[in-house]
Amino acid sequence: MACVLVTGGAGFLGAAVVRRLAGRGDRVIALDNFQAGVPANLEGLGCNVGVFGGDVTDLGGLLGLIRQHRVRRIIHAAAIVSTLSSLSAPSHVTRVNIEGTLNVLEAMRLFDVERAVHISSEETYGAFRCEPADEEHPALPTAPYGISKVASEQLGRFYRTVYKTDFINVRTSWVYGPGFPRQRIPRTLIEAALAGRPLHLPRGGDARIDHTYLDDCVDGILLALDHAVHPFDAYNVASGEGRTTAEMVALVKDLIPGADLSVGPGPLWYDDRLVVPPKGALDLTRAKRVLGYRPKYDLCRGLASYIEWYRRGQLPREN
Ligand SMILES: NC(=O)c1ccc[n+]([C@@H]2O[C@H](COP(=O)([O-])OP(=O)(O)OC[C@H]3O[C@@H](n4cnc5c(N)ncnc54)[C@H](O)[C@@H]3O)[C@@H](O)[C@H]2O)c1
């Protein structure tokens, strides 16, 4: 049976993709250096899943794995994630994210890998100039993380033009849901509310973000992986609605009665150096028309499902 390689397979999105692929009977190998992901995210998945420690910046190791397991398709999720990390460690983030992608592309060329789906980001757009933002929106990222995603996409286009490499970018937005590993809304709001801890965010209430529920994101990634022939190399995969932090706070308070949460006005900040630029909804027309993508979770349903996961006693696993 042909094999799917998931780079960053022990991480939040990578592990969810591995679980879904394994659940439908695909043979999967997960590659991760466990910088952020944890092996426990991949426990109990059965003999069709292999887990390998390794680094995407090690081309020799990547080639060996692909040859040994006759990998035909790749989900490329390995990256140093988040704009915030990229403010403190710009050279590390750009090196891992860009060189890692370049190695995936080289491996595809050398071993005729059929397709890779790269998990890209709406951070490629920078400040939204129009809304909903479609895939033709100018690429003007504001920080090294988004810049590394644009560079990865462009390298994919170079390989497509010269070597006919099928490298597809799924641009998703702020993904949330069971196991989300970093401190970011809505995780911070839900954890405070469930612990009975007051949380008053001084600012950020007016920031509008397209928050994507984990299951919807995985749906979009697998639709892109399975689609026969791609007329485009990039698809927005999100919820399609831009919701303010103030709306999210109100929804969490409805879903967790007694929650002592509030948020002040204004934009969100990554940290004191950089504001989250104006964003909003992503335009899903292309993914709906070409891939048949249909998000199942609006923010209210997604938050309810995420809270339910916590109530079952689950906790995020972190390194
Ligand atoms: N979560 C989001 O909101 C979001 C939004 C847009 C795009 N993305 C993209 O989705 C992908 C997965 O993100 P995530 O949220 O699951 O983050 P994550 O940190 O949970 O997953 C990334 C994984 O890559 C691994 N990794 C890092 N450097 C590596 C290296 N050099 N070699 C091998 N493995 C390495 C980490 O250990 C981790 O398991 C990333 O490419 C990210 O840019 C995520």
What is the mean pLDDT of the segment spanning 250-273? 96
What is the mean pLDDT of the segment spanning 159-180? 98
Provide the pLDDT for residue 175: 98
Provide the pLDDT for residue 316: 82
What distance in angstroms lies between residue 264's CA and the mean position of ligand 1's atoms?
A: 30
**The pLDDT of residue 318 is above 80:** no
Distance CA 122, CA 141 (A): 9
- Domain definitions of the chain by residue range: 3-173+211-237, 176-210+241-280+296-311
Instruction: Provide the total of helices (H) and of strands (E) in the chain, helices listed first.
Output: 11, 15
Locate the ligand 1 atom nearest the alpha carbon of residue 36 and give its number: 37
The predicted-structure confidence for 286-317, as pLDDT tens digits, reads as follows 999 999 999 999 999 999 999 999 999 887 88
The predicted-structure confidence for 18-74, as pLDDT tens digits, reads as follows 999 999 999 999 999 999 999 999 999 988 999 999 999 999 999 999 999 999 999
Distance CA 111, CA 95 (A): 23
User: From atom 21 of ligand 1, which residue's Cα is the shortest distance away?
Assistant: 11
Provide the pLDDT for residue 65: 98
**The pLDDT of residue 1 is above 80:** no
How far is it between the farthest Cα atoms of the chain?
A: 59
Provide the pLDDT for residue 314: 82
Token output for 99: 């060189």
What distance in angstroms lies between residue 260's CA and the mean position of ligand 1's atoms?
A: 32
Q: Considering the domain 176-210+241-280+296-311 in this protein, what is its CATH number?
A: 3.90.25.10
With beta carbons less than 8 A apart as the criterion, state whether 120 and 235 touch. no
Provide the pLDDT for residue 317: 81
In this structure, the dihedral spanned by the alpha carbons of residues 82, 169, 15 and 301, taken in order and rounded to 10 degrees, is 80
Percent above pLDDT 90 for the chain: 94
The radius of gyration of the chain from alpha carbons, rounded to an integer in Å, stands at 19
What distance in angstroms lies between residue 77's CA and the mean position of ligand 1's atoms?
A: 5
The predicted-structure confidence for 70-98, as pLDDT tens digits, reads as follows 999 999 999 999 888 889 999 999 999 99
User: From atom 43 of ligand 1, which residue's Cα is the shortest distance away?
Assistant: 81
Rounded to whole angstroms, what are the CA distances from 13 to 16, 81, 269?
5, 11, 24
Provide the pLDDT for residue 131: 96
* Cis peptide upstream of residue 186 (ω within 30 degrees of 0): yes
Percent above pLDDT 70 for the chain: 99
pTM greater than 0.85: yes
What is the mean pLDDT of the segment spanning 261-267? 98
Q: Which residues line ligand 1 (CB under 6 A)?
A: 8, 10-14, 31-37, 55-57, 77-81, 96, 100, 119, 121, 172, 174-175, 181
Provide the pLDDT for residue 315: 78
Asked about 310 being catalytic, the answer comes back as no
Distance CA 313, CA 154 (A): 42
What is the CB neighbour count within 10 angstroms for residue 47? Answer: 7
In this structure, the dihedral spanned by the alpha carbons of residues 148, 177, 136 and 165, taken in order and rounded to 10 degrees, is 60
With beta carbons less than 8 A apart as the criterion, state whether 49 and 28 touch. yes
Distance CA 151, CA 86 (A): 14
Domains 3-173+211-237 and 176-210+241-280+296-311 share a fold: no
With beta carbons less than 8 A apart as the criterion, state whether 270 and 83 touch. yes
| Among 51, 156, 143, 52, CA closest to 102 | 156
Q: Report the length, in residues, of the chain.
A: 319
For the segment(s) 3-173+211-237, the CATH number from 3.40.50.720, 3.40.50.10070, 3.30.70.20, 3.30.160.70 is 3.40.50.720
**The pLDDT of residue 118 is above 80:** yes
Q: To which H or E segment does residue 252 belong?
A: helix 245-255
Spot the catalytic one: 125, 145, 213, 235: 145
The predicted-structure confidence for 213-235, as pLDDT tens digits, reads as follows 999 999 999 999 999 999 999 99
**The pLDDT of residue 115 is above 80:** yes
